Amino acid sequence: MPRPELYPVKKVVGFDQGMIDAIEKWRGKQKPIPNVSEAIRRLVELGLASTPWARRGKKATSKASDMAGREIDRAGDKSATDAERASRKRQLLKGPKEFRDMRGDLLKPKK
């Protein structure tokens, strides 16, 4: 009896030479070096794993925020006023404004 096919769904995908070169460069750094199809599969999996819908739920996000807040409180400037420490903490937890539009866990402002 023949062995079942590991990846039964096949797709034809087009790449430009720059993408092929980048795939080959990434492939060469892996141990053991995967074939091109496996390298593309792994890169797609990595890309999908980093998408917003693959991130942790609200409970985990809230826990991480609480932990970060405690560390900020612990390392904060004790000579600053309470209001100033709270403002600094908010800014640190929100992150730099240049990167806020990249975060998938923040609500986008309505236009």
If asked whether residues 44 and 73 sit together in one domain, one would say no
Q: Decide if 80 is inside a domain.
A: yes
Q: Is the pTM of this model over 0.75?
A: no
Q: Decide if 5 is inside a domain.
A: no
Q: Identify the domain containing residue 43 by its residue range.
A: 17-54
Q: Decide if 22 is inside a domain.
A: yes
Report the number of distinct structural domains present in the chain.
2
Q: Decide if 2 is inside a domain.
A: no
If asked whether residues 76 and 49 sit together in one domain, one would say no
Q: Decide if 94 is inside a domain.
A: yes
Instruction: Report d(CA 43, CA 19) in Å as an integer.
Output: 12
Give pLDDT tens digits along the chain (111 positions): 788 888 888 899 999 999 999 999 999 999 999 999 999 999 998 888 776 655 567 787 788 878 888 888 888 788 888 888 888 888 887 777 777 666 665 555 565
Distances (CA, A) of 92 to 22, 48, 76, 87: 35, 28, 11, 9
Q: Decide if 77 is inside a domain.
A: yes
Quick check: helix, strand or coil at residue 46?
helix
If asked whether residues 48 and 64 sit together in one domain, one would say no
If asked whether residues 63 and 94 sit together in one domain, one would say yes
Q: Decide if 47 is inside a domain.
A: yes
pLDDT at 93: 78
